[in-house]
Structure 1
Amino acid sequence: MEYEPPKQTISVSAFVTNEKNEVLLVRTHWRSETWEMPGGNVEVGEPLDEAVCREFLEETGIVIRPVGITGVYFNATKHVLSVVFKAEYVRGKIKIQPEEIKEAKYIELNDSNIDKYITRPQQKSRTLDAMKSKCFIPYETWEINPSYNLLSRLYNE
């Protein structure tokens, strides 16, 4: 049997709230029936924490700072590993890329109204996990060439 290299995609998204504890969500053109956390695919060799910042900025115009990972999810049909970060607002105003994002806004989200906004079950579970998360999974980015160099570490202390 011949070896086949893995053909999987990694995606990232971020749970970000404003001072009113409203969640920043987006609707895309290809999934316009649901709201979801901003995010997208990680590029080859890109650290996950950098990817989530890049994707969030591209989709919303908002600069964020990841503080931890709230969950890791796998879509077995499409071979997509999704990593959800909790992040803090740094700066910026909502400015969408209209070719990709249909709408972006802060929404007061809770257990009783989440179904009104998030209609896809996998997006709902990820968002609820992020909403309720009190601790985070540690995340590190390393550079190993020729010595070990820690580039970044997220850890809930």
Structure 2
Amino acid sequence: MEFKTPKHIIAVSAYVTNQKNEVLLSKVHWRADTYEMPGGQVEEGEALDQAVCREVFEETGIIIEPIGITGVYYNATKQILSIVFRAKYLSGEIKIQPEEIKDAKFFELNELNIEQFITRPHMKSRTLDAMKFKSTIPYETWEVNPYNLLSRLE
């Protein structure tokens, strides 16, 4: 039997809050019925923490600092592994990329009003998990040969 390397898409998104504890959400053109946490696909050879910073910046103009991971999710239909980070807002004003993003804003978001903004159940559960998660799980990026720890989030 021949071994085939699995083909999966890896995506990242970020639960980002500002100084007012509002949550950054974006709306993409192809899912215009819902807001969601900003993020996107990881590029080949890219570390996950770098990918989430790049994606949030590209989509919203906001610079973030990832703190750690709040959840890992899998879409079996599309074979997408999605990792959600909690991240600190560092700087920037919202500037959307109109070819990809329809809208992006900071919202006062809580368990009672989340359905006004996030209509898709899998996006809602990820956001609620990130909202409720009081700590994060560690994430490390390594180079091997020789072993070199590039980054660690706790």
State the TM-score bracket (shorter-chain normalisation). over 0.9
2: CA distance, partners of 1:115 / 1:97: 25
Q: What is the number of equivalent residue pairs in this alignment? A: 154
Which residue of the partner structure matches residue 45 of structure 1? 45
| Pairing 1:55–2:47 present | no
Which residue of the partner structure matches residue 148 of structure 1? 147
Which residue of the partner structure matches residue 64 of structure 2? 64
What secondary structure, in the 3-state scheme, does the structure 2 residue paired with 1:30 have? helix
TM-score of the two chains, using structure 1 as the length reference: 0.96
Shift of 1:152: 0.1
Divergent runs of 4+, >4 A: none
1: CA distance, partners of 2:141 / 2:152: 7
Which residue of the partner structure matches residue 31 of structure 2? 31
Which residue of the partner structure matches residue 129 of structure 2? 129
Which residue of the partner structure matches residue 119 of structure 2? 119
| Pairing 1:106–2:106 present | yes
Matched residue type, 1:28: V
TM-score of the two chains, using structure 2 as the length reference: 0.98
2: CA distance, partners of 1:65 / 1:84: 13
Which residue of the partner structure matches residue 93 of structure 1? 93
Unmatched segments (≥5 aa) in structure 1: none
Unmatched segments (≥5 aa) in structure 2: none
Matched residue type, 1:104: A
Shift of 1:2: 2.3
RMSD (Å) for aligned C-alpha atoms: 0.6
**Fraction of identical pairs, as percent:** 68
Shift of 1:11: 0.2
Which residue of the partner structure matches residue 84 of structure 1? 84
| Residues 132-151 of structure 1 deviation map (CA, whole Å, 9 limit, x = unaligned) | 1111111000001x210000
| Residues 74-133 of structure 1 deviation map (CA, whole Å, 9 limit, x = unaligned) | 001110000000000111100000000000001111111111110000000000000011
